[in-house]
Amino acid sequence: MKSKIIFLIVFFIGVNSKAQVSGVGINEDNPQQALHLGSQTGTIRVDGLNSTNNTFNGGGADQTYPLYVDHNGDLTLKVSAFQNSDGSDAYTTSGINGSVAITLAQLPNDGYETVEITSYTFTVARNTTLEIKYSLSVEVFANSALTIIKDQYARNITNFFTLDAATLTSTTRRYAPSSKCYFNRNDIVSNPVAVPDAATGYIYNSGTTYMNLTPGTHTVRFYGTVCSGSANRATYVRFAGGPDSIFIRLY
C-alpha cells in the first residue's frame, strides 16, 4: 500500500511539472502560451503603468495611452524616438544640407525647381517601420532681396521625403507630400508702379509618413520644390526660416 501511495505522488508531481512547462493558465486549463488568460472579459492591470505611479500616463477616465516594449522586454509608456525636436527648432541654417532657399529664375525652362533640404541615414538589423512627422516653415518672395511678389500668378510650394533615391525622377515615390499655393492680387496691369500689398510671413507644410525598411542601411532625403506653372515667374522660397519641428521613430 505504501508503494502505491508513493507512485501516485510521483505521478501527480510529474503531471503538474508538465503542465507548468506548457504555461500558466488563468481561467484556462490548457494554456497555449507561457501566460494564457482564459476569460473572454479579463484584462491585465499593471500598477506601475497607472496615472498615479507613471509620469507618462496622463490620466483621465476616458483616455488611453500607447504601450511599448523596450530592448529588455519591459513594458513602458515612454516614447523612444530617433529624433524629436520637442518644442525646439528642428531645422536651422547650420543644420541644413546645402541651401535653405530655392530660386526660380526667369529662364526658359519648365517653371519648376527643387532643392534637397536635409537627409537622414538609418541602419537596421531587421524589418522596421520608420515613422516621420514634420512641420516646415516656408516664406515666398520675388527674389533673394525679399521683395514681395507683385505679379498675379500663383506659386506652388511642396515638401516631401524620398527613400533610397539618389536623384529625383518622374517615377520616384514621394512620401508625406504637403503643398501650399501662394497667390496675391497686386494690380500691375492698370497700375504697374503700385506698391505691393501682399502679406508676408510664414506658411507651413506639414506631413506624416510611414516607410518600411528592410535590413541594411537606408537614406531618407527631404526636398522642397517651387512651381509657377508652364512659364517661369521670378520666385524665391526660403525654407526653415521660422520655428520647425521633426519627429522620427523606428518601430
CA 53 from chain center: how many Å? 29
Q: What is the pLDDT of residue 12?
A: 46
Closest-CA residue to 196 (of 146, 138, 246, 134): 146
Domains (ranges, CATH) in the chain? 1-44 (no CATH), 51-80 (no CATH), 83-250 (2.60.120)
Q: What is the pLDDT of residue 159?
A: 95
DSSP 24-49: EEES-SS-SSSEEE--SS-----GGG
Closest-CA residue to 162 (of 200, 206, 130, 198): 130
Q: What is the pLDDT of residue 92?
A: 64
CA distance 49 to 35: 19
CA distance 14 to 5: 14
3-class SS at 162? Answer: strand
Q: What is the pLDDT of residue 216?
A: 95
Overall pTM surpassing 0.85 (yes/no): no
Q: What is the pLDDT of residue 1?
A: 55
From first to last of its 251 residues, the chain has per-residue pLDDT tens of 555 554 444 444 444 544 455 788 888 888 888 888 887 776 788 888 888 898 888 888 888 888 888 778 888 887 777 777 777 777 765 444 333 566 666 555 667 888 888 899 999 998 999 999 999 999 888 888 888 887 778 889 999 999 999 998 889 999 999 999 988 776 666 666 766 677 778 999 999 999 999 999 999 999 998 888 777 788 888 888 888 999 998 88
Q: What is the pLDDT of residue 8?
A: 46
Q: What is the pLDDT of residue 28?
A: 84
